[in-house]
Chains A and B, each alone.
Chain A
Amino acid sequence: MHTFFQQLINGLSLGSIYALLALGYMIVYGISKLLNFAHGDVYMLGAYWGYYTINYLHFGFLAALITAMLACGLAGVIIEAVAYRPLRNAPRVAALITAIGVSYFLENGMSYLVTSDTRNFPQVIKRKTFDLGGVSISNIQLIIFATTIVLMAALVYIINHTKTGRAMRSVSTDYDAASLMGININHAVSITFALGSALAGAAGVLIGMYYNSIDPLMGMTPGIKAFVAAVLGGIGSIPGAAVGGFLIGLLETAVQALGFSAFRDAAVYIVLIVILLVLPGGLFGKKQVEKV
């Protein structure tokens, strides 16, 4: 029974990491309909930002987290302006290729600048483990969990209850109509990228600290998993992305605990395909009616 609860905690903590990434992925996708392959790499940039600011500028945890969010938000805005904005009216697949190009650029550019060697992340917060009747949970796990919830709540608030959020929602529904209503589309998309990338930056610092290992290719797999989580939860739904992230974390843990560790990723994809077939819009997605 202890093992079960311990595995539950393991699954939730892994899931909160996927959820954090999926949130950022989802809002960018929801508004620009762009499969942002570079999202995972922005998360990598966040981790390196944390690494350098903590090691060389002696930032504390919070300072590193917040500056990483700002820096990655800015990076997101720049990426959008340079690589995606010129293609806004082009076929969507064109923007997908530039997204891949940006991803290659960030991965290899960073490999060139800082070498592809794995680095250990400075431990700014001392790790403590709490023992709850045989089930252990660490303070860093709790911080990640709490940050995910706080950022998710903030995101829901921004999108549902502010003027900017309303602009973002209207842009996501219909570019042209939103533009006719006097909404500055460029502005709304920029803000979306800033928000999404800032979330990725936060994830970079948190995950760097949690696992203590960063490298230029660290964003590849989590980027894809985040996309899977976002699709699983249903594109367009913030709680959906979070739930999708937690589900994948739990699922991976369950598969490993049952002794099929070699087939972990296969299980994730099978569940994804089955869910898409049963609920084509994902768990919380809205069903879209296609019209001629």
Chain B
Amino acid sequence: MNFKKFFGVAAATMMSAAALTGCATAKTSSNSGNKATDNKIRIGVNLELSGSVASYGQQEKKGVTLAAQQINKKGVKIGGKTYKVKLYISDNKSSTSTAASVAAQLANSDKIVAEVGPAATAYATASISNLTKAGVPLVSPSATAAEFTQTKSGQTQKYVFRSCFIDPFQGKKAADFMYNTLKKRKVAIVADNSTDYGTGLTKSFTTEFKKLGGKIVTTQYFQSGDKDFNSTLTTVKGKNPDAVYLPGYYTELGLVLKQAREMGIKVPFVGGDGMGSPKLAQIAGNKNATNVYYTTHFSTKSTDPAVTKFMKVYKAKYHEDPAVFSSLAYDAVYMIVKAAQNEGEVSSSAVQKGLANLKNFKGVTGSITMDSKHNPQKSVVVEQMTNGKIAKAYTVK
């Protein structure tokens, strides 16, 4: 009886379901983009302000806020009208589904012309679909996975841009620096296994370093949020490497440096731009942040006026040196404004076009030219840390 009922109802619903899908169902209309009707450049900020990667999202928020403040001091002239930037800052909780929801809200309710963020590749890719539907471009300050700006078939995602390096590029440069400049041959890797950033850099570094003729003696993994690296480092120490490569973020790498130096591992450490934060030396302790190198976008020792000015206003506002994340987010806002300026119109389609054609944009994080895959082409700098201070900067070609 009950099973009969069960099947009866199920069959009935199946049938009606089939009937329903048979009819054309409504799709939310795809937008042809948003256009500013007043003198505001509406920029959505979809960042990880809470949850597991909140500390990176928070830093990018600082960069975005500062950029908007700087721009609004005078406003920008676009097409004969003076515009000011209006930010719509939302938290995506470090969650893919919330990132998608925030993107939809920004594009549909707040009528933004472009979005900055999210910080991590996974959350950024989750917001692509809703933004593409709405015809709104996004610039992620730190989504570094190579495939981020591409569709599955390898075409460029029309509305997706970034202001950072891609992993294969940075990993390759690090391997190059390790082999040719530091002249190290036996390298150990201690990598963050819970982010695409850590695994992506590990992959490209390993490939390139082996190609150059070097040897990877061991690859050890940790998870973001780990605090104790003693056993991993004991293993590394036992392998006697000439140097250690650290793909990951400063939150964990600061602790890795501290525990490694205290354990007596004295070899050089090389990392990526995820290390670029004043917090690194604070967590590691200045004494331990010595003989440390990392690939990054610009040197804080640079005499470029754009950089020195940024450093000054950032320090005045937040009383600390800018982290790489903040600078990339700062540039992302400027890139969007510059794109609108170049096209002479404040609309999402103009910003999209402007970003795709961006050439020699003078940002804080370097001179940026967008390639056909929407990846910025810029030079790499390696900073050397001694006693917690940036001692020297190398330019890597």
Contact = CB atoms under 8 A, between A and B. Distances in A.
Is there a direct interface between A and B, measured as CB atoms under 8 Å apart in the complex? Answer: yes
B271 to A, nearest CB: 16
Interface stretch (B15-23, B101-109, B257-265): B257-265
Contacts of B282: 119-120
A217 B258 CA distance: 21
B225 A217 contact: yes
B232 A256 contact: yes
A187 interface: no
B252 to A, nearest CB: 9
Given A120-B282, A138-B262, A256-B220, A211 B231 contact: no
B140 interface: no
- Interface size, B (range): 35 or more
Contact of B58 (A115, A123, A212, A220): A115
Nearest to B282: A120
Contacts of A265: 223
Given A10-B231, A211-B228, A117 B255 contact: no
A9 B279 CA distance: 28
Given A115-B58, A262-B221, A7 B251 contact: no
Contacts of B262: 127, 129, 138
Contacts of A252: 231
Interface residues of A, number: 39
Interface string B185-221: 0000000010000000000000000000000001011
A140 B183 CA distance: 37
Interface in B86-104: none
A264 B285 CA distance: 27
Contacts of A123: 285
A288 interface: no
A253 B231 contact: yes
Contacts, number: 93
B235 interface: yes
Contacts of A221: 225
Given A211-B227, A261-B220, A111 B54 contact: yes
A10 B234 contact: yes
Contacts of B220: 256, 259, 261
Nearest to B284: A212
A207 interface: yes
A123 B258 CA distance: 13
B93 to A, nearest CB: 10
A265 B194 CA distance: 12
Contacts of B54: 111, 116, 217
Interface string A1-32: 00100110011011001000000000000000
Contacts of A115: 58
A220 B262 CA distance: 27
A133 B227 CA distance: 26
Contact of B279 (A7, A17, A117, A264): A117
A260 B250 CA distance: 23
B283 interface: yes
A217 B52 CA distance: 8
Contacts of A261: 193, 220-222, 232
Interface in B239-279: 250-251, 254-255, 258, 262-264, 279
A211 B279 contact: no
Nearest to B218: A259
Contacts of B279: 117-118, 120
Contacts of A138: 262
Interface string B125-163: 000000000000000000000000000000000000000
A256 B231 contact: yes
B234 to A, nearest CB: 5
A259 B235 contact: yes
A108 B283 contact: no
Nearest to A112: B50
A160 interface: no
Contacts of B308: none
B230 interface: yes
A41 interface: no
A181 B254 CA distance: 55
Contacts of B180: none
Contacts of B283: 118, 120, 212-213
Contact of A212 (B193, B223, B228, B258): B258
A256 B51 CA distance: 27
Contacts of B230: 10, 13-14, 253
A220 B222 CA distance: 16
Given A211-B228, A256-B220, A256-B235, 13 more contacts: A13-B230, A108-B50, A117-B55, A120-B282, A120-B283, A211-B227, A213-B227, A213-B254, A213-B255, A215-B55, A217-B54, A218-B227, A262-B221
7 contacts: A116-B55, A120-B282, A138-B262, A213-B227, A213-B254, A213-B255, A257-B234
Closest 10 A-B residue pairs measured CB to CB?
Answer: A116-B54, A10-B230, A253-B231, A120-B282, A256-B231, A262-B221, A261-B221, A211-B227, A10-B231, A213-B283
Interface of B: 49-52, 54-55, 58-59, 193, 218, 220-223, 225, 227-228, 230-232, 234-235, 238, 250-251, 254-255, 258, 262-264, 279, 282-283, 285
